[in-house]
Amino acid sequence: MKNSQHLLRWVYPLLLGIVQFNTLRLVTDFSRNSMFWSGELQEHIIAQAVTVAFAYLFDYFCRKMLGREKSAVADSLLVACPAILFLNLLLFAGTGIGFLKLGNGWLDCLLINIVYIPLLMIYYAILRMTYMNRKYEEQQLMIEKIRGEQLQAELNSLKAQYHPHFLFNALNTIYFQINESNVEARKGVELLSKLLRFQVYNSDRKVKIEQEIAYMEAYIDFQKLRMPERLQIVSHFDRPLPGQTIYPLLFQPLLENAFKYVAGEYRITVDLSLSEEDIVLCIENTVLPEESRKREERGMGIRNLRRRLDLLYPQHYALFLGRCGNCYSAKLKIRLQ
């Protein structure tokens, strides 16, 4: 199928050139009561070859123009104007050097424009319509694929709903089995339950920014329980404005990496600033001086984060990752509006 389409791709301009020249001959010969293809055969063959070559150039130009987001009228003008200009320059240059011969001068030039340009534009209209139909079919296939993935995701979500209740009940049981004197253990189970509840029930819809901040604070408190006492954590969160929302868990991979890779002076700085339109999270963690400067940025967590940002905030976010001195920094800016 593809081979036949590729072959036709090169046959169509040839057919266009043949139709153009023979239509011109019909118009000129029969209007003068002459026999078809009357006159010098060599001149006609040269003119036919030039017409076919021009058709191939026009086909190449048209295919370069396809895909531009313009109206049909504007698109047609962008094709027609260069075609008219180049056609007449070709006629002028060809007659000037004696390569082409026009028996009636400007009148033949006018006839060539009258015959060739409409046929060229009909050819471009066919190309454009074929291109639009192909794009429409591709979009329909993509839509069907997305629908299938959504249905599968919904099914998986329904299956998963049975498991969180068991997990939370189990954590609740463990919490009450821990002796009340073991404050840290009870606090750890409580924070873990809070984190899991937020991840399970707020993973597919926007949440208030204060909920996201509360989750980050709980995550930091939970990490403090398992990290060395010498770990220094400095965090600052701006007060959210009323009604501000965000898709949840976008900051989780960056925060998790900070605790995963912190070393050296064991210091983590978290700063979240808010404005009416933007939210900016800056996280820094110290690393060992001898640690490689090329920290892994292509892990599953970062790849998934970039993919989610592309889907949820296309062209409305900026993510910067890098090392400066003995600190590794991550900065994520999201345009909320």
User: Is the pLDDT higher at 268 or at 169?
Assistant: 268
CATH of the domain at 282: 3.30.565.10
Give tens-digit pLDDT for 36-84: 555 567 777 888 888 888 889 988 888 888 777 667 777 788 888 888 8
Domain boundary among 103, 127, 149: 149
What does the alpha-carbon distance between residue 44 and residue 112 come to, in Å, rounded to a whole number?
Answer: 14
Note the pLDDT of residue 112. Answer: 83
User: Is the pLDDT higher at 332 or at 166?
Assistant: 332
What does the alpha-carbon distance between residue 188 and residue 233 come to, in Å, rounded to a whole number?
Answer: 18
Contact 102, 95 (CB under 8 A): yes
Instruction: Read off φ and ψ for residue 43, nearest 5 degrees.
Output: -65, -40
Same domain, 251 and 119: no
Contact 272, 280 (CB under 8 A): yes
Same domain, 104 and 15: yes
Note the pLDDT of residue 134. Answer: 86
- 165 located within any domain: no
Q: What is the DSSP letter of 150?
A: H
- 206 located within any domain: no
Same domain, 131 and 6: yes
- 224 located within any domain: no
Please give the model's pTM, rounded to 2 decimal places. 0.50
- 178 located within any domain: no
Burial label for 36, CB within 10 Å (0-12, 13-18, 19+), is: exposed
- 222 located within any domain: no
Tokens 């007659």 — which residue? 95
- 197 located within any domain: no
Closest CA to 270 of 289, 251, 287: 251
Q: How far is CA 180 from CA 185, 222, 226, in A?
A: 9, 18, 19
Query: 274-307 burial by CB neighbour count: b if 16+ within 10 A, else e?
Result: beeeebebbbbbbbeeeeeeeeeeeeebbeebee
| Measured CA angle at 322 (ends 321, 326), to 5 deg | 140
- 221 located within any domain: no
- Packing angle of the helix pair 2-31, 106-160 (nearest 10 deg): 160
Domain boundary among 149, 172, 191: 149
Residue type at 38 in one-letter notation: S
Domain boundary among 149, 174, 209: 149
pLDDT band at 269 (very low <50, low <70, confident <90, very high): very high
Same domain, 142 and 13: yes
Could you list the residue range(s) of the whole structural domain that residue 295 is in? 230-335
Same domain, 6 and 140: yes
Same domain, 20 and 133: yes
Give tens-digit pLDDT for 132-150: 888 888 888 888 888 878 7
What total number of domains does the chain contain? Answer: 2
pLDDT band at 130 (very low <50, low <70, confident <90, very high): confident
